[in-house]
Structure 1
Amino acid sequence: MIFQGKAITVQQLDDGIAELRFDLSGESVNKFDTLTVTELDAAITALERTEGLTGLLVSSGKNVFIVGADITEFGPVFEQGPDAAIRHLAQNNVNLNRLEDLSVPTVVVINGFALGGGFEFCLACDYRVAASTAKVGFPEVKLGLIPGWGGTVRLPRLAGLDTGIEWIAGGRDQAAAVALRAGAVDAVVEPALLHDTALRTLRQCIDGKLDYRARRRQKQAPLQHNETELPMALETAKAFVAAQAGRHYPAPVTAVNAIEKAASLSRDEAIAVEARAFAEVAQTDAARALVGLFLSEQLIGKKAKTWERSAAAKVARAAVLGAGIMGGGIAYQSALKGIPIHMKDIAQAGLDLGLAEAGKLLAKQVERGRLAPAKMAQVLAGITPTLSYDGFDQVDLVVEAVVENPKVKHAVLAEVEARVGADTIVTSNTSTISISHLAQALQRPENFCGMHFFNPVHAMPLVEVIRGEKTSDATVARTVAYANALGKKAIVVRDCPGFLVNRVLFPYFAGFSMLVRDGADFQQIDRVMEKWGWPMGPAYLLDVVGIDTGVHCEAVMAEGFPDRMGKPFKACTDILFEADRYGQKNGKGFYDYEKDQRGKPRKTATEESYKLLEPHVAAGRSFSDEEIIARTMVPMATELARCLEEGIVGSAAEADMALIYGLGFPPFRGGVFRWMDAVGLPAFCDMATAHTALGKLYEPTDGMTELARADRTYYSTTGA
């Protein structure tokens, strides 16, 4: 044994060949944490001192190669400033340069994911042999960062400028076959042949049949590109990347700038340029937020897996009550993930609509080449449309998705409970009605909880699992397990009107309604909030949700929280509702809608909504962007803080992720709590207090005030 560590071993094979194997102890994947980086330094030193060494094979003892750096180490490093970030990169940059400069050829076996720092390691080797199932790439821009261990230097020199920019600025994983065509890997074989093929490639290097030294010279020299074409290509790329990324995400353009500055430099000079660019972007708000989101996502996933492990059994067969768009979407998702589902309705028209929705979604997948026609037929066969309860005694979990009316839901829930087994979980897809109230209709309330999907089901990742007063842990566990099986992000919350997401969404809408009441132009509000980062402004969002749905939910929220959500004025949504302007569903709301060439609704401004609003609102006046942001966001933020303080949601991380998954809250802001932390709680409380004349929605909570006084943040307090 040449080297033995907790993350790396190096052993001697035949003919002077050594094999360096990554196998991080106690972890399911390999990553470049401090331990691995330190051991790599020691392992390379051992190799440099090994007499008779002829070649180095690199492999992984896990089912992936290396998934990248240890993101949990970033936060403390970045807080110390750019110099600390550069120091953090330095050791592994030295390691990879030493690897590339070894006196013997190196070949790496890529048996699974090789991402970020893992792929940078692969690029430092002379040849790369990948399994047909492997994926490589640079996801750093998704964290608001750029590669920091030579990725912007080696990939363009190996695979070309266009490939380097596309892969690094795009942040997508690349299939092995794509990487082979690009020249980023040298061979792709079936997994069973991987190790032998890599060894054969290494022996060809040793025997002089492959010129590995030429490959090294290519990576260590300046970028080979025509001096006239290079500036033009880079300027075009920067313009395209900037347009694609948007102004809130600086990392992709920073990466292109780093490639440009390093194009005429040697390897070591170029890597120094990359390190400075990495350190610069690591200090941005976007990087802090997106790294935080990554860690929060890991927390959400771990919690969901913990619930799943405690489930008595998996859901093998499900049912949905109420077809239509929502029921069809749930049925589609379940069948697509291999869980057969009964789809029941009281009318054939409803079943036809539900099947049509599932068929439409599947046809799109086939059209885009993501699904084979045979698989489409298999998925459709997994949906059993029915007008009766036949077969419901065999299902493990039921999702009730009928009309949002407590009396109707009570009747349907009692009816289905009588037709299913004693251990069957019954859930409701209600968006606002109390789970504890709905449970009053049931004989086994411990087997009942909320399972709130978001529309469109296939696209929205969040499922709120709502625990009622009598819901058992076993019910929560099995429901979360089903959500996991559907590929959804399950977040468990306690029961209250609106639960978590809708409870904080409607204060946002209330802030919007008060702005319109006070003379603000709803189109200006939309523009400001979209510029701030929302995918659509509040007026547009209400049109998409449905103004009739919004009015119904506002009434539920006002009944549940009359001191904050009661309306002492006639809101813009009430006015449009009374005029039968429901939004996209009937082609007219705040905006008018017509279908474009692809059949999607396209909004256009209309004077009719302004004329309807005019008698009920103040004379039009201009509001600053800052005031619009404060008046819409403060109510959402204070209500979310109340949810955390009341224990409706377990942590700031879960609350933030729920709004990102369920509402499309701007990811680069990291969530509402991270946004408040970035603003500073003292400054946020001042912003809120300046508007308390508008009502209790603008009053900072006790917990918020305490944190502000102590100059603390939500994430420093909770750690999650």
Structure 2
Amino acid sequence: MIYQGNSISVKELDGGLAELVFDLKNESVNKFDKATLSELNDATQAIENSSAKGVLVSSAKDSFIVGADITEFLQWFEQSEEEVVASVLQANEIFSRFEDLSIPTVAAINGIALGGGMEMCLACDYRVMSTAAKVGLPEVKLGLYPGFGGTVRLSRVIGADNAIEWISGGAEKRPDAALKDGAVDAVFAPEQLKEEALKLLQRIVAGELDFENRKTAKKGKLGLNAIESMMVFETAKGFVAGKAGKHYPAPVDAIKTIQKHANFERDQAIAIEAKGFAKLAKTPVARNLIGLFLNDQSIKKIAKDHTALAGDVSQAAVLGAGIMGGGIAYQSAYKGTPILMKDINEQGIQLGLDEATNLLTKAVQRKRMDVGKMAQTLTRIRPTLSYGDFGNVDVVVEAVVENPKVKKAVLAEAESHLKEGAVLASNTSTISITDLATALKKPEDFCGMHFFNPVHRMPLVEVIRGEKTSDKTIATVVKYAQKMGKTPIVVNDCPGFLVNRVLFPYFGGFAMMLRDGADFEHVDKVMEKFGWPMGPAYLLDVVGIDTGVHAQAVMAEGFPDRMAQDFRSAMAVMFDENRYGQKNSQGFYKYELDKKGKQKKVSDEVAHKLVDSVVESKQEMSDEDIINRLMIPMCLETVRCLEDNIVNTPAEADMGLVYGIGFPPFRGGALKYIDDMGAAKFVELCDQYSSLGKLYEPTAKLREMAAKNEKFYA
């Protein structure tokens, strides 16, 4: 044994070769924490002092290295910018020391190699990849760019244009793409990978391949002349800026950094990378995106804890085969769980099948699957008009019309056909799960499973616990949501649950603004500039104004002190005029088909006149007023959901809003928004708008937090 540590070992192989193995003890994956970085330095020194003629770099785990341990490196980001630079350069010295070994190195990438894991691979002279592996530099998703030499080495290995696409896009690359771009030298089946990597290393040691030339190229300048540089970088900056948007600076900063260090050799280039990395690390965007990443890890752990009690989920069923039912059937079948799709008539069945087929066809057109997998997926969807096969079903999702009487009747009927221990779930956005359970003989086997539309795109599923819902039922539905590729968040029963309960105060603030004379198109523009994917008027059109009116009535009944409206709202006027939004091509906007057949919104004079009819007084409103009048009610209701134990943790609350309604990710969520502003300042802001009523009134606990300068996130 040449070296033995807690996460890295170096052992001797036949023929004078050595193998450096990553195997972080007591962890399911390899990652770069500070201890592993230190061990890499020690292992490199041990190799330098050995007689090894070449080094194979491998992993003893299913993944290669998933990246840096962000929980540890967050401590770096609390330092000053200069200290961050120093810390990053210290880590880079270790990678460069390994890269500068006088003997050849080959990385055998058996699984995921992302971020720091891919940067380790790039420090090797050659890279071979398993057909089961993925590689990439996804740091832009955290508001950063690669900091362990990734922008330097990748641009010199695959060229500036390819490196820009890899780094600014942050996507994981499959073996065929990595090989095509030159990021890896060969691709093999998993069972052949190590053997073939060793053969390659033996050939290099035998002098068949010039590894020293590779080392020299990676340590040199990028080698672009002035015209090539301008064409590559300036074109890319404009294109990427348009895609990323002004709230996400990292993708464009990555391009600027590659451009800055293009004419410098490695060590100076890495110093330039480190300086830019440190600057990004100190931004609120990076802090919030990293916070969301940690929140996502947290809710996955919570979901995993829930599933400890889960029953089997090998056969599902959906009741109601409309657009929503078809979407649920598609998602279940696409992710591998067979599903029965029941409706009361052939027309409904056909609608559901058409929806699933349409989604599968689009997936084929976008090359996300082939025709064979499409056919295989469709065979997992079995349409039926009867309950004949329901005795074999583990989970049934009811997705009929949003009417409590209809839902109760359907649920009670379905229950009578299920086997012992099977779980019933209702896809409802507003109706009380506890109330629906009164129609059932076994309310403990029933819960809510609220999907968001469109099902195939929206990552969130709210799993709603009724008063009598058992832990096993929750666990089973959480497990099913995970099998469908969704992020489940368990919430307790109340009007609107989590997401809609928080969303409708936002719409309530919007309704009051229109009453007070605001122009809804201007409001939409302000909120889109703030970071929302769409403003409130456009969002209501997408949700469906008829759906909005129904949900508003439920919320007003549940929380009359702050959600009942004592004025006629613009949404109610639209509803009375049969303007339901996108679904019938008229709402706050008109909708016309573009050249691609997609709906695009168009300004509508009739809609403005209808909104004018509800104006009670014209008030001057700045853009700041618009933001505050919409964000305060949403943030306060999120606080109330946490205090009322509708949701258990700030992470679950904020991720629910990001995944469920598109809360601007770079702002971190409603509770993080309060933290960033400071509770005291936020409460002071609420008090400025206190004349608008209870929607703007802070809770006593929030005032207490403000007085003590406390935060939701420690």
If the length of structure 1 is used for normalisation, what is the TM-score? Answer: 0.98
Q: Work out which of the residue numbers 570, 579, 593 in structure 2 matches 1:595.
A: 593
Query: What is the deviation of 1:331?
Result: 1.0
Cα deviation code 1:6-40 (max 9, x no counterpart): 10001111232111100000111111011111111
What is the CA–CA distance in structure 2 between the aligned matches of 1:76 and 1:618, rounded to whole Å? 53
Q: Is residue 562 of structure 1 aligned with residue 560 of structure 2?
A: yes
Q: Is residue 686 of structure 1 aligned with residue 699 of structure 2?
A: no
**Maintained 8 Å contact 1:145/1:251:** yes
Which amino acid in structure 2 is aligned with residue 624 of structure 1? Answer: S
What is the CA–CA distance in structure 2 between the aligned matches of 1:591 and 1:620, rounded to whole Å? 22
What is the CA–CA distance in structure 1 between the aligned matches of 2:482 and 2:99, rounded to whole Å? 42
Matched with 1:199 is 198
- Number of residue pairs matched? 714
What is the CA–CA distance in structure 2 between the aligned matches of 1:46 and 1:338, rounded to whole Å? 48
Cα deviation code 1:422-479 (max 9, x no counterpart): 3111111111011111111111111110000111111111110000000000100111
CA shift in 2, pair 1:339/1:132, >3 Å: closer
Counterparts of residues 615-634 of structure 1 (less than 5 Å): 615-618=613-616, 620=618, 622-634=620-632
What is the CA–CA distance in structure 2 between the aligned matches of 1:613 and 1:210, rounded to whole Å? 74
What is the CA–CA distance in structure 2 between the aligned matches of 1:329 and 1:391, rounded to whole Å? 21
Which amino acid in structure 1 is aligned with residue 39 of structure 2? Answer: E
Q: Work out which of the residue numbers 359, 379, 382 in structure 2 matches 1:381.
A: 379
Q: Work out which of the residue numbers 465, 468, 481 in structure 2 matches 1:467.
A: 465
Counterparts of residues 54-93 of structure 1 (less than 5 Å): 54-93=53-92
What is the CA–CA distance in structure 1 between the aligned matches of 2:711 and 2:156, rounded to whole Å? 44
Matched with 1:218 is 217
Q: Is residue 424 of structure 1 aligned with residue 440 of structure 2?
A: no
Counterparts of residues 228-377 of structure 1 (less than 5 Å): 228-311=227-310, 313-377=311-375
SS of the residue 1:715 aligns to: coil
What is the CA–CA distance in structure 1 between the aligned matches of 2:335 and 2:130, rounded to whole Å? 26
Query: What is the deviation of 1:75?
Result: 2.4
Query: What is the deviation of 1:621?
Result: 5.2
Which amino acid in structure 2 is aligned with residue 41 of structure 1? Answer: N
Query: What is the deviation of 1:209?
Result: 1.4
Query: What is the deviation of 1:221?
Result: 1.1
Query: What is the deviation of 1:351?
Result: 1.2
SS of the residue 1:228 aligns to: helix
Cα deviation code 1:262-290 (max 9, x no counterpart): 11111111101101100000011110011
Query: What is the deviation of 1:86?
Result: 2.1
Which amino acid in structure 2 is aligned with residue 677 of structure 1? Answer: D
Matched with 1:127 is 126
Matched with 1:30 is 30
Matched with 1:14 is 14
**Maintained 8 Å contact 2:517/2:612:** no
Matched with 1:443 is 441
Which amino acid in structure 2 is aligned with residue 34 of structure 1? Answer: K
**Maintained 8 Å contact 2:3/2:11:** yes
**Maintained 8 Å contact 1:131/1:176:** yes
What is the CA–CA distance in structure 1 between the aligned matches of 2:135 and 2:125, rounded to whole Å? 16
Q: Work out which of the residue numbers 399, 403, 406 in structure 1 matches 2:404.
A: 406
Q: Is residue 39 of structure 1 aligned with residue 39 of structure 2?
A: yes
Query: What is the deviation of 1:688?
Result: 1.0
SS of the residue 1:268 aligns to: helix
What is the CA–CA distance in structure 2 between the aligned matches of 1:235 and 1:368, rounded to whole Å? 29
What is the CA–CA distance in structure 1 between the aligned matches of 2:613 and 2:646, rounded to whole Å? 40
Cα deviation code 1:298-353 (max 9, x no counterpart): 11111112222321x32111111111100111111111122221211222211111
CA shift in 2, pair 1:76/1:706, >3 Å: farther
Query: What is the deviation of 1:231?
Result: 2.8
What is the CA–CA distance in structure 1 between the aligned matches of 2:436 and 2:289, rounded to whole Å? 38
Query: What is the deviation of 1:623?
Result: 1.9
Which amino acid in structure 2 is aligned with residue 128 of structure 1? Answer: R
**Maintained 8 Å contact 1:314/1:482:** no
SS of the residue 2:359 aligns to: helix
Which amino acid in structure 1 is aligned with residue 425 of structure 2? Answer: T
**Maintained 8 Å contact 1:318/1:340:** yes
Query: What is the deviation of 1:110?
Result: 0.9
Matched with 2:500 is 502
Q: Work out which of the residue numbers 503, 521, 524 in structure 2 matches 1:523.
A: 521
Which amino acid in structure 1 is aligned with residue 665 of structure 2? Answer: P
Query: What is the deviation of 1:258?
Result: 1.0
What is the CA–CA distance in structure 2 between the aligned matches of 1:394 and 1:182, rounded to whole Å? 49
**Maintained 8 Å contact 1:153/1:267:** yes
Q: Which segment drifts farther, 650-659 or 107-116?
A: 107-116
* Unaligned segments of structure 1, at least 5 residues: none
Query: What is the deviation of 1:230?
Result: 1.1
Query: What is the deviation of 1:611?
Result: 1.4
**RMSD of the alignment, in Å?**
1.2
If the length of structure 2 is used for normalisation, what is the TM-score? Answer: 0.98
What is the CA–CA distance in structure 2 between the aligned matches of 1:331 and 1:32, rounded to whole Å? 40
What is the CA–CA distance in structure 1 between the aligned matches of 2:613 and 2:124, rounded to whole Å? 72
What is the CA–CA distance in structure 1 between the aligned matches of 2:582 and 2:377, rounded to whole Å? 30
Q: Work out which of the residue numbers 566, 573, 577 in structure 1 matches 2:575.
A: 577
**Maintained 8 Å contact 1:37/1:91:** no
**Maintained 8 Å contact 1:519/1:621:** yes
Cα deviation code 1:215-254 (max 9, x no counterpart): 1111111111123321342111111121111100011111
SS of the residue 1:608 aligns to: helix
Query: What is the deviation of 1:90?
Result: 2.8
Matched with 1:100 is 99
What is the CA–CA distance in structure 2 between the aligned matches of 1:133 and 1:339, rounded to whole Å? 22
Matched with 2:544 is 546
SS of the residue 1:205 aligns to: helix
What is the CA–CA distance in structure 2 between the aligned matches of 1:378 and 1:243, rounded to whole Å? 38
Q: Is residue 189 of structure 1 aligned with residue 159 of structure 2?
A: no
Which amino acid in structure 1 is aligned with residue 585 of structure 2? Answer: G
What is the CA–CA distance in structure 2 between the aligned matches of 1:443 and 1:132, rounded to whole Å? 51
Query: What is the deviation of 1:207?
Result: 1.9
What is the CA–CA distance in structure 2 between the aligned matches of 1:26 and 1:142, rounded to whole Å? 27
What is the CA–CA distance in structure 2 between the aligned matches of 1:665 and 1:258, rounded to whole Å? 30
**Maintained 8 Å contact 1:68/1:116:** yes
**Maintained 8 Å contact 2:515/2:617:** no
Query: What is the deviation of 1:91?
Result: 3.1
What is the CA–CA distance in structure 2 between the aligned matches of 1:169 and 1:367, rounded to whole Å? 25
Q: Work out which of the residue numbers 639, 664, 667 in structure 1 matches 2:665.
A: 667
Cα deviation code 1:648-698 (max 9, x no counterpart): 001000001011111111111111111111111111111111111111110
**Maintained 8 Å contact 1:685/1:708:** yes
Query: What is the deviation of 1:488?
Result: 0.6
SS of the residue 1:359 aligns to: helix
What is the CA–CA distance in structure 1 between the aligned matches of 2:700 and 2:317, rounded to whole Å? 44
Q: Which segment drifts farther, 131-140 or 228-237?
A: 228-237
Q: Which segment drifts farther, 616-625 or 593-602?
A: 616-625
What is the CA–CA distance in structure 2 between the aligned matches of 1:230 and 1:601, rounded to whole Å? 39
**Maintained 8 Å contact 2:514/2:614:** no
SS of the residue 1:616 aligns to: coil
What is the CA–CA distance in structure 1 between the aligned matches of 2:711 and 2:75, rounded to whole Å? 15
Which amino acid in structure 2 is aligned with residue 182 of structure 1? Answer: D
